[in-house]
Every structure is written in structure tokens, then in C-alpha cells.
């Protein structure tokens, strides 16, 4: 018996733990209605704030719609101190006045550019960025960041090259026309994007998802077609994943956490035309910790997850903390979502890091 007690004490003493400033998620899909109510608590238990994407149906294109959506998000996380940061969905018809109103609202923190047809619910998106010049001018004046889904939609461009081509055809010319406009290059997936952000000045930031850090495109075809590893931008070659790992290991402030957690019902993913999107909100910070730990860069996690995002957006860093412990958890095969279910990233697998519950 004496021995048993000693072993328990030793186990407690040797549990590796990591306390960091509470992180934020700078790119998140919360959806609406019953799905929103199912998924939002996952984010609220880990993150203080999140940039909430506006690609609902219909899209959140006005300040009025954003206020109503904000209310629904707040209702879904009642009892937590989670703070949603809202965004507007840019269309060919967005007016400069809407941007003025968005800026005045104080709760809208960015305007999202979806090239029309690029991804889930992007059909109301922008057909040609030059149509938005008056809006971009106003955003530049207001200091309101443009959040870009950085892929061209030209059907003649290979799906795996769409991010690189976007840099040349859309991003660089837009930056030249609006030299002060702040831009977040969302969910970057290629060495080209890493190099581009590294070489750009501080007005360009980039979010990096945990799934693009964990997987190359092989994961979509492992023993068969794997719909739960399908997202947009699509997973890329291993050399691109390595470039993303080097970006987070560099500790450069241009790269920060954005999960792009994008829940879709299991049935809609496991279909002859499955939806794009990977759900990672259930264990996002634990999965990022696992990646940083695996490359021996755990000391860089806090700045990536908790400092560089607010610094870019000009917001205060959070003052509370969370604690992660190096103790294994097994991810469920699925979670209930509305009247269906969602298959999470790493479903059925075991990961080495766990968020300490009393800090959650």
C-alpha cells in the first residue's frame, strides 16, 4: 500500500503541464440554429474570443444581420465569458456606408472576402475584387482588416495551385492599390503563402489551422477516400506542411492561430458530393499543443495562440490563463450536432495533451 501511494505522488509530480494566456481563435465557423447551439460551447471552453465567419445562408452582409447573429451566438454560449468577434461578408454590392457603420459598431472586427464559388456558402461572394474598391478604401481608412479566402476560382487552375495563383493575381495587386489595408491571409496551406507572409510587412497576417499542420494530402486518400479530411483550401503536399511547421517554429508574429473549424453533418460529408470543412473545435488547443510538442517548440505555442492575433487586430491580450496537461485523451468517434452528428478531427484516436478541466 505504501508503494501505491508513493507511485501516485510521483505520477502527479511528473505530469508535464503548460499554463498559457487564454488563447483566441482567429477563424471559426459557428453556423446557426441548433448546430450553433451544439458546437459553440466547445470553443467557449477553451478560447476567450473568436473571429466568427459570416458564411451563413443567407450570408451576414449587413451590420443589422451581424447584430442579430451576435445575439444568437451569445445565447449559445450563455454562462461563459466567451466573446464573439463578428465579421461582415463582402459582396459585389457591399457599400462603403456599410463599412462605416461596421467600424462604428465596434463589435465587427473584419470583412471577409470569399471569391464567388471558392468554398462553402460562397456563391454570394465577390466576382471581381476591383468592384469593391470603394469599400476597400473605407476599410483602409478605418483600419478594418480584410480577411481573405485566398484561392482563385478559375476552373482552369489546378485545385492544388489556387492559393499560389491567388497571391499573384489578386493579393499582390490589391496590396499595391491599398498600401495601408490590413489583410489576414486565412488558413494558409502552401510554402508560397508562408514565404509571401514572411516577406510582407506587419500589415499582412496569416492564420494557420491545426489540420494543415497535422496532415498532408495523403490523409485524404489513406486506404480509400476520406471525406472527413476534405476541406478548403484542400490539404497540400508534405513539403507544404513542412513549410507551415517552419512558420510556427519561426515564432514570427505574422502567423497566428485560426482553426477554421467548420462543422458539417456526418451525412453531408459522407456523400457522393461531400461538403468541405473539418471540425476541430472539440480539442483545438490540445491538438495545437500536440503539434508544437511534436516539433519541440512548445514554448512558441503561447505567442502563436494568445499574443500575435490580438496584436495584429489591435486588441488587448487576454489576462486569464488555461492549463494543458500531458495526459492522454481519446477523441470520440462523433459528437451529437443538432438532430445529427459531426465527426471530429482525430475521431477515435488518442492524443497526448488535455485541457485541465478546472481551467476550462
Q: Is 149 in the site for ligand NCD (CB under 6 A)?
A: yes
Q: Is 266 in the site for ligand NCD (CB under 6 A)?
A: no
The values of phi and psi at residue 321, to 5°, are: -130, 165
Of residues 106, 9, 122, 109, the one with CA closest to residue 56? 122
The reply to whether omega before 30 is within 30° of 0 (cis) is no
The residue from 168, 260, 265, 311 that is catalytic is 260
Residues 186-209 as b/e (b if ≥16 CB within 10 A, e otherwise) read bbbbbbbbbebbbebeebbbbbbb
Q: Is 325 in the site for Zn ion (CB under 5 A)?
A: no
For ligand NCD, which residue of 74, 276, 295, 315 counts as binding (CB under 6 A)?
A: 276
Q: Which does 119 bind (CB under 5 to 8 A by kind): Zn ion, ligand NCD, none?
A: ligand NCD
To the nearest whole angstrom, how small is the minimum distance from the Cβ of residue 279 to Zn ion? 12
User: Site map for Zn ion, 255-274, x if CB under 5 A?
Assistant: -----x--------------
Q: Is 25 in the site for Zn ion (CB under 5 A)?
A: no
Q: Is 260 in the site for ligand NCD (CB under 6 A)?
A: yes
Q: Which does 236 bind (CB under 5 to 8 A by kind): ligand NCD, Zn ion, none?
A: none
To the nearest whole angstrom, how small is the minimum distance from the Cβ of residue 331 to ligand NCD? 19
Q: Is 231 in the site for ligand NCD (CB under 6 A)?
A: yes
Q: Is the dihedral of CA 245, 328, 16, 284 positive or negative?
A: positive
Total residues at the site for ligand NCD (CB under 6 A)? 11
Q: Which does 94 bind (CB under 5 to 8 A by kind): Zn ion, ligand NCD, none?
A: none
Confirm whether 158 is a catalytic residue.
no
User: Site map for ligand NCD, 44-83, x if CB under 6 A?
Assistant: -----------x----------------------------
Q: Is 138 in the site for ligand NCD (CB under 6 A)?
A: no
How would DSSP label each residue in 143-209? TPPEEE------TTS-GGGHHHHHIIIIIHHHHHH-TT--EEE-S--SHHHHHHHHHS-TTEEEEE-
Using DSSP's 3-state secondary structure scheme, residue 91 falls into coil
Between CA 99 and CA 272 the distance in angstroms is: 40
Contact criterion met (CB below 8 Å) for 172 and 306: no
Q: With 0-12 CB in 10 A as exposed, 13-18 as middle and 19+ as buried, what is 149?
A: buried
Which residues, at least 6 apart from 43, have a Cβ–Cβ distance to it below 8 Å? 25, 28, 30, 50, 77, 82, 261, 281, 284
Q: With 0-12 CB in 10 A as exposed, 13-18 as middle and 19+ as buried, what is 146?
A: buried
Contacts to ligand NCD from residues 14-43, by CB under 6 A: 29
Contacts to ligand NCD from residues 106-125, by CB under 6 A: 119-120
CB nearer ligand NCD, residue 256 or residue 353: 256
To the nearest whole angstrom, how small is the minimum distance from the Cβ of residue 119 to Zn ion? 7
To the nearest whole angstrom, how small is the minimum distance from the Cβ of residue 30 to ligand NCD? 10
Between CA 191 and CA 240 the distance in angstroms is: 5
Q: Is 301 in the site for ligand NCD (CB under 6 A)?
A: no
Of residues 77, 79, 68, the one with CA closest to residue 50? 77
Q: Is 277 in the site for ligand NCD (CB under 6 A)?
A: yes
CB nearer ligand NCD, residue 140 or residue 209: 209
Active site residues: 260
Footprint of Zn ion (CB under 5 A) = 260
Q: Binding residues for ligand NCD, per CB under 6 A?
A: 29, 55, 119-120, 149, 231-232, 260, 262, 276-277
Amino acid at each position: 500500500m505504501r508503494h501505491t501511494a508513493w507511485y501516485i505522488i510521483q505520477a502527479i509530480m511528473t505530469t508535464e503541464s503548460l499554463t498559457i494566456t487564454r488563447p483566441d481563435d482567429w477563424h471559426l465557423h459557428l453556423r446557426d440554429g441548433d448546430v450553433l447551439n451544439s458546437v459553440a460551447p466547445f470553443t467557449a471552453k477553451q478560447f476567450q474570443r473568436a473571429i466568427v465567419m459570416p458564411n451563413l445562408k443567407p450570408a451576414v452582409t449587413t451590420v443589422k444581420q451581424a447584430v442579430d447573429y451576435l445575439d444568437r451566438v451569445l445565447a449559445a454560449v450563455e454562462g461563459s465569458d466567451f466573446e464573439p468577434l463578428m465579421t461582415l461578408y463582402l459582396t459585389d454590392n457591399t457599400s462603403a456606408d456599410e463599412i462605416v457603420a461596421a467600424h462604428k459598431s465596434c463589435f465587427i472586427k473584419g470583412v471577409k472576402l470569399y471569391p464567388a464559388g471558392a468554398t462553402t456558402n460562397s456563391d454570394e461572394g465577390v466576382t471581381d475584387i476591383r468592384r469593391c474598391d470603394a469599400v476597400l478604401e473605407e476599410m483602409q481608412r478605418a483600419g478594418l482588416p480584410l480577411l481573405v479566402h485566398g484561392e482563385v476560382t478559375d476552373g482552369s487552375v489546378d485545385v492544388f495551385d489556387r492559393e499560389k495563383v491567388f497571391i499573384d493575381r489578386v493579393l499582390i495587386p490589391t496590396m499595391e492599390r491599398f498600401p495601408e489595408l490590413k489583410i489576414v491571409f486565412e488558413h494558409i496551406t502552401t510554402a508560397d503563402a508562408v514565404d509571401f507572409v514572411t516577406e510582407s510587412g506587419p500589415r499582412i497576417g496569416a492564420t494557420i489551422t491545426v489540420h494543415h499542420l497535422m496532415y498532408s494530402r495523403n490523409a485524404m486518400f489513406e486506404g480509400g477516400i476520406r471525406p472527413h479530411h476534405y476541406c478548403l483550401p484542400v490539404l497540400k503536399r508534405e513539403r507544404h506542411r513542412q513549410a507551415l511547421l517552419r512558420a510556427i517554429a519561426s515564432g514570427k508574429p505574422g502567423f497566428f492561430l485560426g482553426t477554421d473549424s467548420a462543422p458539417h453533418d456526418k451525412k453531408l460529408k459522407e456523400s457522393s458530393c461531400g461538403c468541405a470543412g473539418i471540425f476541430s473545435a472539440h480539442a483545438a488547443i490540445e491538438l495545437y499543443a500536440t503539434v508544437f510538442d511534436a516539433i519541440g517548440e512548445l514554448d512558441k505555442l503561447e505567442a502563436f495562440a494568445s499574443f500575435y492575433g490580438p496584436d495584429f487586430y489591435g486588441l488587448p491580450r487576454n489576462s486569464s490563463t488555461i492549463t494543458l496537461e500531458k495526459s492522454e485523451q481519446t477523441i470520440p468517434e462523433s459528437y451529437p450536432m443538432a438532430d445529427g452528428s459531426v465527426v471530429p478531427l482525430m475521431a477515435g484516436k488518442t492524443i497526448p495533451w488535455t485541457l485541465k478541466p478546472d481551467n476550462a
